[in-house]
Each structure stands twice: as C-alpha cells, then as structure tokens.
Chains A and B, each alone.
Chain A
Amino acid sequence: MMIRTSAKSPSKLGLHLSRGFIYALIIFLLLMTFVPIWMLMVNATRSTTEIQQGISFWPSTHLIENYRILGSKGINIFKGFSNSMFVSVTTTLITVYFSFLTAYALVVYEFKGKKFFNNFIIVLVLIPTQLSIIGFYQYMSKLGLTDNYASLILPTIANAGGVFFAKQYFESMLIQDLIDAARIDGASEIGIFHKIMMPLAIPGAATFGIFAFVFAWNNFFNAFILISSFDKYTLPMLVQTLRGDVYRTEYGAIYVGLAITIVPILIVYALFSRYIVSGIAMGAVRE
C-alpha cells in the first residue's frame, strides 16, 4: 500500500497527458511502418495508368493483369520463387541441425578446449564475415562451385549465431536427467541427440529456423556475387533486375514483383510472430 501512495506522486492529469502523447507516437510509428507496405500492396493491384494518375490507398482490380505483364517481359518470377524456396529451405535445415548439434556438445559434454571454443563462437558472432566474400568467390570458382547453390548453402554448416542461440536454448531446458535415463536404457550418444533431445528442442529449433529462413530468403549480397546464370536467380536478384530498363514504365508489374517477395514473409509473421519476437531476445539477453 505504501508503494501505491508514494508512487502516485505525479498528478493524474500529468499521467493522462503523457499517456496521450505516447499513444499518439505509437500511432505515428505504426503509420510510418505500414503506409509504405500498404502502398506497395495497393499498387500491385492497380494498373500502370491508375498509378500514374495519382495516389490511392484503395486496392483496384488489375492484379492478374499486372502479373501477366511481369511474366511477359522475360522475368519468370515463379522460377525465382522456387529457387529462393529451395535455397532457403535447405539452408534452414542444414544450419538448424548443425547449430543444435554443436550447441548440444557444448552443453552436455566436458572436453578440453571447450571454454576456448565457447569464446571463439562469441568472437565469430562479432566478426564481419561478409568482407571475405572476394576470397570466398575466387576459392569457389577454383572448386567450380560458383553459380552453384552449394556455395550459398554449405557455409551455413558453421553458423556461430545459430550455435549461440541453440546453446541458450539447451541451457534453459533441464536435460541431464533425461540423458542419464536414456544412457541407462542403452541409447547411443548420437541416438540420444536424434531421438530425445532434438524432438524436445523443436520449439527452439523452429524459432531459430524461422530466422534462418528469413535471412536466407532475403540474402542478396552473396547470391548477387556468386550466382550468374539467369535461370538460377533468387528473388532478391530478380528484384534487382526489375529496376532495369525493360520494366521502366510497367509500374504495376514492378509492384507485383515486389509484393511477391514479401507476402510469404507477412504470412509467416502473422502465424508465428509470438515465437519470432521471443526468439529475438533469446540471442541477446543473458550473454
């Protein structure tokens, strides 16, 4: 009770005023977040003529037509979509599996050099790895792996951020008893990981998987440097070609192309935002 009374020192009016201000700011930020995205969606449904006539926040009826124009000028957005899907799904499976395997080793076993390895993971998280892309490119071209999805997928076996995340997750599950019980039952070590720990870690693996997927889906730089044949282009690379001369005046088609890249993400987020938001904090807190 004491707390209540002493806490009410600022006047009620002041409290109302600051609340009003905060809600106004929230609305302003929401507008700023959604007006550009909404414009993108609406313009994807409007014809180029309509777009040229002026702004509208109301959808029109030309979505299908715009999509046809998009396809008629040489961009196969569906192919790009399935390319991106393939790269993102494989990357996600590989990086989730190996991140959790590595993290499991760090949480469950005691071995020489473990502490060093732990610190090493933190250092790796903090190092700008993209800057070695040129050396990576030349090395991949020697191996004949440029213009090959392997050069995008295989490096994610060693994902320091993923190990960091998975370690936090395993540490938050109390697991030693389960492991001991499984050992008494005669399970092999890798069997314990596959049959007991990995199924238990599925919520964490799924959360991290969403991040891995979104990252791979959105990744432009690496694909832009490593992939060269047009039929292997991923979505972000197609977005970059949408800016070219062929589409100069086809605004409706451009907006459809852009919308296709973000709609899957919007759907994933609408379904899983709770896990995603809690997952963001997990990588950072309790360092």
Chain B
Amino acid sequence: MRLLKIRRNTYGYFFITPFIIGFLVFGLYPLYNTFALSFTNTTLMNASSAEYIGLDNFKRLFADDFFMKGVTNTWLLWILNFTPQIGIALLLSAWFTNARLKIKGVGLWRALFYLPNLLMPATIAALFFSLFQFYGPVNQAIVQLGIVDEAVHFLQKVSVARILVIFIQWWMWYGQTTIIIMAGIAAIPVHLYEAAMVDGATGPQMFRRITLPLLKPILIYVFVTSLVGGMQMFDIPFLLTDQRGGPSSSIMTNNILMYMKFSSSKGHIGAASSVGVLVFIMTTVVALGIFFVMRDRNIPSERKKKEKTLRPLRTQMAELKAQE
C-alpha cells in the first residue's frame, strides 16, 4: 500500500516536468544568456566575432548620464503613480466595505473602475497621443472655451509628458488595486469589527487599528507586484511621444533605454543586455527583499497578531470611557 502511494507520487514529477522544461528553455537560459551577453560587445552584425570585454558595458553605462536618467525616471514615474493609486484604492475600499455608509452599486463601480486595465496599453497611449496633439480635441476644447488663446504643444512639455504617463498608469491600475484590497478586507473576520463596535470604536479607528494591520500581507503583495511591473514600464511612455522617451528623455524608462540600444543602427545587444541585467538585479533585490522581510515577520502566528491589534484598541476604549 505504502509502496503504491510512493509510486503514485512520482506522477507529481511527471506533471511538473513540462513546466520545468519550459522554464529552463524559455526562462532560465535566456536569463543566463542575457547575463553572458552583457560581458561582450556583441552586436546584431558581429555575432560570430563578438569578444569578451569584461565590465566595459557596465562602466560605460555608469559613465553616461543616460542610464541613471532612465533609472531615475522609472522610479519617479512609478512612485508618483503608485502613491495616489494605493491612496485612492484604500479610501474606496474603506468606504465600499463600510457597513454604516451602505454605498449602493459597489460591485458595479469597482467593475467599471477596473475596465481601463484590460484595454490595450498601446491603444491607450495612441489615444492620449491623439487627444493631446497640437490639433487634438483637448486643444480644441480649451481654445473654444477660451481657457487659452492658442493651442499648446502639450507633448513637447516635460511636465505634461510626465504627468500624462503618471495619470495613465494610475488610471489603468487603481481599479485593480481597489478590488484586491477589498477582497483582503472581506477576508478579515467580522467579529473583530463587532467587538470593536461594542467597545464604541469609530470607523476611522477601526480602519487604522484593525483593517490596516491585517491588510499588511495584501498591501505588500500589491506593492511588490506593482514595483516589478513599474520597473519594466514600456508601452505607455514609449508610444505616448516620440518612441525615445522624449521630450528631453523625460519619460525614457529603463526598458526604453534597453530597446534603444537594441534597435540602434548596429544593434548593440551586448550593451542592451547590460541595461537589462542591472535593472533585473535592482528590481529583484528590492522586490524579493521587501516581500520576504516584511512577510516573514507576519507569519509566526496570525492569531497572536490579531490579539495584538485588538489589545491597544481595547485599552484605548477603556481609557476613553473612564474619561467620560
């Protein structure tokens, strides 16, 4: 019987084999290859005569402002869209799940807020490009309304280009973040809130002392996945303006720089790989670091944690009551 069970369990290996082969062939080897290429001067032309050049590609990247500019831009565009994204998502989820407010149509609203996330980013970039063109509808509207005398070259302004990328990214993602956070709130046991309400806690107090601490794993998940996506931002900033991250490289992200090196007249895939490698290391270290450091602290015992969140609230309530 036991032997049968062991033999049966080898099916586990059979069933995960396609995944492992797929990963080795299409995931791990390309990653290794990218690292290997980053130490060479390979171009699309000289594939056979490429040489090992050590860290030259990396030295060149750091000597050139362009790379640092790409990294700074990417972080800036990500942080400035993620902060309002998580902010509005938390607010909406708190309101939508609040039993006292009884907001109607919650399911419909969040489904509608999520919609932009499903639309093709290339299309959205092209759409906003058309809307904000010199002869585009936005200019027509503000001229007709007399807000400005003359149409504005929106997409040639550094600040407008950046704000548009930030807005579009925010617009595409806040609905999803709201849905995830609401699901996290729904998973919090109701009795915690009931207990707090018996003790006379107000809505904001319960949000700060119960909801937020218990949402931490979800918030970390949202944070890390958004970061990983944000560091690879490409479609929107690439297609919104001149396909080089202009004006003045103000929306040139890591991936746009990588692409530009790849598509340069000679096709410097060695240099392009070194961009990929550096950004890969940066993102992986930050993402995995945050994920495992923050998460492990959470795991020990969920129950104790809940107690801990409740206790200060209880004492606070008792104090308040005593003061009355």
Residues of A within 8 A of B121 (CB): 218, 220, 236
A75 to chain B, nearest CB (A): 13
Query: Does B54 reach chain A (CB closer than 8 Å)?
Result: no
Is the beta-carbon distance between A139 and B120 smaller than 8 angstroms?
Answer: no
The one of B33, B228, B239 in contact with A135, judged by C-beta atoms closer than 8 angstroms, is: B33
Is the beta-carbon distance between B235 and A26 smaller than 8 angstroms?
Answer: no
Name the interface size band of chain B: 35 or more
A163 to chain B, nearest CB (A): 7
Query: Does B87 reach chain A (CB closer than 8 Å)?
Result: no
Residues of A within 8 A of B180 (CB): 280-281, 284-285
B169 to chain A, nearest CB (A): 14
Q: Which of B44-60 contact A (CB under 8 A)?
A: 47
Query: Does B217 reach chain A (CB closer than 8 Å)?
Result: yes
Is the beta-carbon distance between A280 and B13 smaller than 8 angstroms?
Answer: no
A49 to chain B, nearest CB (A): 12
Q: A-facing mask of B260-297, CB < 8 A → 1, else 0?
A: 00100000010011001101100110011001000100
A148 to chain B, nearest CB (A): 13
Q: Which of B13-33 contact A (CB under 8 A)?
A: 13-16, 18-23, 26-27, 29-33
Residues of A within 8 A of B287 (CB): 126-128
Is the beta-carbon distance between B30 and A128 smaller than 8 angstroms?
Answer: no
Query: Does A172 reach chain B (CB closer than 8 Å)?
Result: no
Is the beta-carbon distance between B120 and A261 smaller than 8 angstroms?
Answer: yes
Residues of B within 8 A of A22 (CB): 95, 101, 103
B14 to chain A, nearest CB (A): 8
Q: Given A3-B194, A6-B200, A242-B126, A132 and B119 touching (CB < 8 A)?
A: no
Query: Does B109 reach chain A (CB closer than 8 Å)?
Result: yes
Residues of A within 8 A of B200 (CB): 6, 9
Residues of B within 8 A of A2 (CB): 198
**In the bound complex, how far is the Cα of B8 from the Cα of A190, in angstroms?**
11
Query: Does A104 reach chain B (CB closer than 8 Å)?
Result: yes
**In the bound complex, how far is the Cα of B127 from the Cα of A220, in angstroms?**
15
Residues of A within 8 A of B30 (CB): 132-133, 135-136, 139
Q: Given A3-B198, A55-B140, A132-B31, A157 and B19 touching (CB < 8 A)?
A: yes
Q: Which of A211-251 contact B (CB under 8 A)?
A: 214, 217-218, 220-221, 225, 235-237, 239-240, 242-243, 251
Beyond contacts A39-B127, A127-B287, A190-B15: 8 other A-B pairs, Cβ-Cβ < 8 A, are: A7-B197, A30-B109, A128-B232, A135-B37, A138-B47, A240-B239, A284-B222, A287-B295
| Residues in chain A within 8 A of chain B (CB atoms) | 2-3, 6-7, 9-10, 15, 18-19, 22-23, 26, 29-30, 32-34, 36-37, 39-40, 43, 51-52, 54-55, 98, 101-102, 104-106, 108-111, 114, 117, 123-139, 154-155, 157-158, 163, 189-190, 193, 214, 217-218, 220-221, 225, 235-237, 239-240, 242-243, 251, 254-255, 258, 261-262, 265-266, 268-269, 273-274, 276-277, 280-281, 284-287
21 contacts between A and B (CB under 8 A): A3-B194, A33-B113, A36-B128, A54-B144, A109-B9, A114-B12, A125-B225, A131-B258, A131-B280, A132-B276, A134-B37, A134-B269, A134-B273, A135-B34, A135-B276, A136-B33, A236-B122, A239-B120, A265-B118, A268-B118, A285-B180
